[in-house]
Amino acid sequence: MKKIIIAISICVLLLIMPTTISISTKIIKTNKNQDFIKENHFSNENRPLWAQGNFTGYWGLNIVGELYIPLGKIIGYYSIGYHSKLKRVGYFQVDFKEFDDDNVTRLKGFFWGDYMIGKQLYLDSENTTAIAGLGRYNETNSEFFWRVMAIKGPTYFMWGNSAKFN
């Protein structure tokens, strides 16, 4: 009898594992969290002169590009298409914040179509870390997804929605 209970327990454990993984993925894919959009502190009044729009969303760990573990929120500005021949080239600045933590890390860089390069700034020092990324942008719902990495360490994702200033 004991053996049967142990066997059933192991089966249940194994069955739960993929379920847990899929649930964590689903959260980030479906939870739009409108309250974060509302608390967006960016506005037309205090935006940088170069900014054409802003974006909000989430960042987190990205395991093999398939599993998304949200770690915090992002808020940023972007501009795109300064030059008529470089319509897909843009500039961005984004602030990262962990959930329940007020410390902010800033990322600045350029994107060109699917590609992005930039640097992570540490506000308490002059050190910077180079970053590179790949992304997708859905014009229909203004949703973006970026995968980002540094020369070492894990890969991260940024996901959210953008809005163009009037």
Of residues 1, 17, 64, 123, which one binds another protein by CB under 8 A? Answer: 64
Residue placing its CB nearer to another protein in the complex, 42 or 156: 156
Rounded Cα distance between 80 and 88, Å, is 7
Q: Which element (helix H / strand E) includes 12?
A: helix 2-30
Tell me how far, at minimum, the Cβ of 64 lies from another protein, in Å: 6
In the list 53, 70, 133, 160, the residue contacting another protein (rule: CB under 8 A) is 133
Check residue 115 for interaction with another protein (CB under 8 A). yes
Residue placing its CB nearer to another protein in the complex, 39 or 114: 114
Of positions 12, 15, 123, 151, contacts another protein by CB under 8 A: 151
Q: Does 23 interact with another protein (rule: CB under 8 A)?
A: no
Q: Which helix (H) or strand (E) holds 126?
A: none
- What b/e string do you get for 3-26 counting C-beta neighbours within 10 Å, with b at 16 or more? eeeeeeeeeeeeeeeeeeeeeeee
**Shortest distance in whole angstroms from residue 66 CB to another protein:** 6
Nearest distance, CB of residue 56 and another protein, angstroms: 22
Q: What pairs with residue 115 in β-bridges?
A: 112, 134
